[in-house]
Amino acid sequence: MTAPTRRDRLRPVELLGISAIIAVFVGVVVLMSTRQINLGTIFMCVAFIVVVVVLAMLQLASASDQDDNDMLGGHRDSSPDDH
């Protein structure tokens, strides 16, 4: 079994970073429009959780050729069968 690459190991950090950036943006927009710190904080936390879940589900839904080969139990040829 091969060790995961650096990109594979840092992927969760990327997802959390993107979620944090979007959550801060939502929190600032709500804070500037309502002027209530509690409401801005609540919206920021909810946005963070929603974005993390959505990005994780999208990542699970996208499949690569390697994942397909693993699910099929072996390597799949890209050429059509001659039977």
| CA distances in angstroms from 2 to 5, 8, 67, listed in the order given | 9, 12, 14
- Alpha carbons within 13 angstroms on the beta-carbon side of residue 35 total 0
Among 47, 57, 54, smallest CA distance to 25 is for 47
- Please write the tens of the pLDDT for every residue from 36-83: 999 999 999 999 999 999 998 998 888 665 655 555 555 555 556 555
Q: Which amino acid is at 78?
A: S
**pTM of the predicted protein model:** 0.70
Alpha-carbon gap, residue 44 to 50, rounded angstroms:
10
Mean pLDDT of 23-27: 97
pLDDT at 8 over 80: no
Q: Where are the domains of the chain?
A: 12-60
Q: Which residue has the higher pLDDT, 81 or 33?
A: 33
